[in-house]
Amino acid sequence: MPELPEVETCRRGITPHILGRRLQQLIVRQPQLRWPVAVDLPQHIQGQVVLAVERRAKYLLLCMNEGTLLIHLGMSGSLRVLTGADTPGPHDHFDLDFGACRLRYRDPRRFGALLWTTAPVQEHPLLVHLGPEPLSQKFNGEYLYEHSRGRRSAVKTVVMDGKVVVGVGNIYANESLFLSGIHPVRPAGRISLQRYQRLAENIKQVLQNAIDMGGTTLRDFYNQSGNPGYFAQQLRVYNREGAPCPVCSSAIRRQRIGQRSSFFCGNCQR
DNA sequence: AAATTCTCCTGAAGGC
DNA sequence: TGCCTTCAGGAGAATT
């Protein structure tokens, strides 16, 4: 399931293959993604040149001369770089053909998206209200503290709220809260500045470590070359219900918070 | 306004 | 073996 480190891994992997290249053709086999791919998109963007490959939250941004292609991997999406003939599978929904190589998008659950905008991309409706990037200086303990005052919802829900901070998905929220000794259901407004400083640092650390390891492969994340990420072996609580806490050996617990599985140590996290 | 629930989708896993 | 049912999850939309 692509979270920020997986999307960043993807971005870094595809960039050298497509930067400066001209799009020969967009081939759409399945337009029914999160939002339908516009029927006339292929003819609109044919011939566009990739000027930059950026990322905002979990959106990949292919910045081209007349606009920007937004790609979201949803929870089962992946992009592979193909350099030879390769028969598309049933979930290979579109190809971006750059001549020398092509990007093939696969997404069994179809929660992902392919959108084109000619307006300044940061003003796009999907991006304009997003919180800061977690690895930026704008995101820190003070920021979290200020934005959680008066909020009674679980701290885990708040750090996963894209309007507060982007890119912190379920896996990394669980891990960061464990490293910070904070119980995931603790009301966000009842946590001290000091503890938020520690949480913000751990969020940055966990995300950066995961990026350095090429992301987390639990089931279906593979990078542009078809290789898995190696952060899964670093996970301390996620998906480890019943296993011993790496610090105190208490059994890791599992609880649903806001429709999502949460994993934590009831002894270490208060 | 903030908090909660719903929604899209398919594959894996579990029950009988 | 096979046909259910349940669940997982990103995040915008809808509802409370």
Please give the pLDDT value at position A134.
95
Look at the alpha carbons of A262, A263, A267, A269 in this order and tell me if their dihedral is positive or negative: negative
Left (φ > 0), alpha (ψ -120 to 50) or beta: where does A61 sit?
A: beta
Q: Which CATH entry fits the domain spanning A4-123: 2.160.10.10, 3.40.1030.10, 3.40.1390.10, 3.20.190.10?
A: 3.20.190.10
A211 CA from B14 C1′ (Å): 34
Reading chain A (270 residues) residue by residue, the pLDDT tens digits are 688 988 998 999 999 999 999 999 999 999 999 999 999 999 999 999 999 999 999 999 999 999 999 999 998 899 999 998 889 988 999 999 999 999 999 999 999 999 999 999 999 999 999 999 999 999 999 999 999 999 999 999 999 999 999 999 888 899 999 999 999 999 999 999 999 999 999 999 999 998 888 765 555 555 665 665 556 667 899 888 888 999 999 999 999 888 889 999 999 999
What are the domain boundaries of chain A? 4-123, 141-264
CA A65 to chain centre: 25
Chain B bases near protein Cβ (<7 Å):
2-12
Asked if residue A108 keeps its beta carbon closer than 7 A to nucleic acid strand B, the reply is yes
Q: Which of residues 154-213 of A touch strand C (CB under 7 A)?
A: 162, 167, 169-171
Q: pTM for this one?
A: 0.93
Which nucleotide lies nearest residue A170, CA to C1'?
A: C9
Asked if residue A32 keeps its beta carbon closer than 7 A to nucleic acid strand B, the reply is yes
For residue A58, indicate whether it is catalytic: yes
CA pair distance A142, A138, nearest whole angstrom: 9
Contact residues for A11 (Cβ-Cβ < 8 A; gap 6+) = A53, A54, A55, A60
Q: Which of residues 113-142 of A touch strand B (CB under 7 A)?
A: none
SS3 content of chain A, % helix, strand, coil (to 5): 25, 25, 50
- Equal CATH topology for A4-123 and A141-264: no
Where is A253: in which H helix or E strand? strand A253-257
Which nucleotide lies nearest residue A74, CA to C1'?
A: C10
Six-digit token string for A216: 């987390």
Domain A141-264 -> CATH class: mainly alpha
Burial of A251 (0-12, 13-18, 19+ CB in 10 A): middle
Asked if residue A148 keeps its beta carbon closer than 7 A to nucleic acid strand B, the reply is no
